[in-house]
Amino acid sequence: MALVTSHMNANVPSANLFGTPVGDKNSSNGQNIANNSNVTIQKQHHKNHHNSTSHHHSQRNGQGTFDAIYNATLNNNDFSDPVNKTETNLIKAIFNEQNVTFVDQTSPKRYEPDRPIGYGAFGVVWSVTDPRNHKKVALKKMPNVFQNLASCKRVFREIRMLDSFRHDNVLGLLDILQPTDKHFFQEIYILTELMQSDLHKIIVSPQPLTSDHIKVFVYQILRGLKYLHSANILHRDIKPGNLLVNSNCILKICDFGLARVWNPKEQVNMTHEVVTQYYRAPELLMGARKYTGAIDVWSVGCIFAELLGRRILFQAQGPIEQLNMIIDLLGTPNTDEMRNACDGAKNYIMRSAYRQPNTMKFYSLSHQASHEAVHLLISMLMFDPEKRMNVDDALAHPYLEEGRMRFHSCMCSCCYTTPRKERIFAKISDPGHQMPFDSKWEKELTRLSMFDLRERLYKYITERTPLFGIPLCINTNSASYRDFVNSSVAQASELPPSPNAWD
């Protein structure tokens, strides 16, 4: 049964999340979507907040073996018609009858039932249908936003970041559901593009990965990471499960719950309790409080090796074992390479037996581990973060040239094909963020109280122009509503498991 659909009546019933009708304060905002194949919405003309040219030039025609990955990782679903469409929807559109006309131009015979697709540390994700255009989207519930100050800051930071992203390889925000009442404002619901799988599922699947697959995946990860770093954002949790993939092998970086605005010109202390252990850079394992975007590059290097070998590169039981596995492969670091480590970690390494590097093991990962592949891998997995290859240099590496050509020949939205079948390539193949985040914003965020953050979040959501100019809200009459509200996050902790306490 459909979890989401439209509400056609002018009067909005009191069937919202907290039993309070949502007002139509946004009814004068919107735009004319005259050519939408699924829905026609006519409202007073207003510039849509979310529109970007990249969405109009999308040319995503995946080919050949790339579609096989999609088929190998999707579950078979049994689709059925909803019994009562208006009573089985979790979220509904809010309309003002005086200046809105909603015309459904399609009569789908079969509906894909809405269902949970992910349970993360900071939210629950469901696959639902947007009632305004009948497209499948991802609905993420962010529960207990105001349970503590850290949670509130994290959510506000993540929403602001998602709302600014306009990039093929970074998951952006489509919409935010309207809260019903400021006094009952406890959870936030956001809509994002629905992706069919993630890189972890692909790696553990029996589907063979060709060199083309690996190159185009690594290229997209680095391309998205360049965009984030150009926005002064450290992701701090790059891992296969946070790299979503659709049926055309388009890859998007997601989950910005641990992301942080960072100024490369400033050296400020940050927590080292970030990044899932298997993908955690050695400086973090050794207690460094000052670090750079090099921690994200290390994570990409680990994922690159995992794509080649189809197994986790450093799969240790704990942080100390993790560090020892890294040293077994890369060799014992010298004092200068440990300059940002805490004293306890330095002393531990200095007391341990000296180990020579053994990077030749990279060639045993796979027959696809060519000289170029191993060179790129070693460059991204340097123990010293200052010697580690940065994102720009990694993107320029010869190994990724074929991946770049594949991506821009048929997958990207920055290039397009003319009616004469000529491919017009963008002047900038790996664009940066147009409006980087200022570290002053991050500093201001740390000074705000819980009350101030709650007020700002509520104002940001309610004053933001919704997609198509038509807001959405939760509908408690949905048959799936009980399951949705009872779904909980995977863990309550705000951070990954703490690394070893050296001191």
d(CA 329, CA 115): 43
Q: What is the pLDDT of residues 243-278, one digit of tens each?
A: 999 989 999 999 998 999 887 766 666 765 667 899
d(CA 39, CA 105): 6
Can you give the pLDDT at residue 322? 95
Q: Do domains 115-194+448-483 and 197-424 have the same CATH topology?
A: no
User: Is the pLDDT score of 204 beyond 70?
Assistant: yes
Residue with token string 């979790």: 90
Inter-residue contact 486 to 272 (CB < 8 Å): no
Can you give the pLDDT at residue 82? 37
The catalytic residue among 237, 255, 296, 430 is 237
Query: What phi and psi, each to the nearest 5 degrees, are found at residue 335?
Result: -60, -40
Q: Does domain 115-194+448-483 have CATH number 3.90.1660.10?
A: no
- Mean pLDDT (the chain) is 78
Can you give the pLDDT at residue 477? 78
User: Is the pLDDT score of 184 beyond 90?
Assistant: no
Can you give the pLDDT at residue 185? 87
Least reliable range by pLDDT among 105-119, 425-439, 445-459: 105-119
User: Is the pLDDT score of 492 beyond 50?
Assistant: no
d(CA 302, CA 414): 28
What are the CA-CA distances from residue 42 to residues 53, 55, 100, 494 (Å)? 21, 20, 6, 43
Between helices 294-309 and 371-380, what is the axis angle to 10°?
150
Per-residue pLDDT averaged across 278-293, rounded? 92
Q: Single out the residue of 215, 140, 200 nearest to residue 398, CA to CA.
A: 215
Q: What is the pLDDT of residues 33-64, one digit of tens each?
A: 233 333 333 333 333 444 444 433 434 444 44
What is the CATH code for 197-424?
1.10.510.10
Inter-residue contact 273 to 260 (CB < 8 Å): no
d(CA 21, CA 249): 41
Domain ranges of the chain: 115-194+448-483, 197-424
Residue by residue, DSSP assigns 238-298 as: --GGGEEE-TT--EEE---TT-EE--TT------S--S-GGG--HHHHTT-SS--THHHHH
Least reliable range by pLDDT among 43-57, 98-112, 308-322, 355-369: 43-57
Binding residues for ATP: 140
First to last CA, the chain: 55
Three-state DSSP at 346 gives helix
CB atoms within 10 A of CB 378: 16
* Single pTM value for the model: 0.79
Three-state DSSP at 407 gives helix
Name the more confident of 348 and 6. Answer: 348
Can you give the pLDDT at residue 202? 96
Can you give the pLDDT at residue 475? 74
Q: What is the pLDDT of residues 141-151, one digit of tens each?
A: 888 888 899 88
* CB-count exposure of residue 363 (10 Å: 0-12, 13-18, 19+): middle
Per-residue pLDDT averaged across 185-197, rounded? 92
d(CA 302, CA 315): 11
268 CB-near residues (< 8 Å, 6+ apart)? 290
User: Is the pLDDT score of 78 beyond 90?
Assistant: no
Per-residue pLDDT averaged across 11-35, rounded? 31
439 CB-near residues (< 8 Å, 6+ apart)? 232, 261, 262, 263, 266
Q: What is the pLDDT of residues 162-182, one digit of tens each?
A: 999 999 999 999 999 998 778
Give the 3-state secondary structure of 162-186.
Answer: HHHCCECCECCEEEECCCCCHHHCC
Inter-residue contact 26 to 466 (CB < 8 Å): yes
Can you give the pLDDT at residue 360? 93
Instruction: Please say if 130 is a catalytic residue.
Output: no
Query: What phi and psi, each to the nearest 5 degrees, are found at residue 176?
Result: -125, 130
- The pair of structure tokens assigned to 133 is 């255009």
What are the CA-CA distances from residue 421 to residues 93, 405, 418, 424 (Å)? 39, 17, 5, 9
- Tell me which amino acid residue 229 is: H
d(CA 226, CA 299): 14
- The pair of structure tokens assigned to 440 is 């002053």
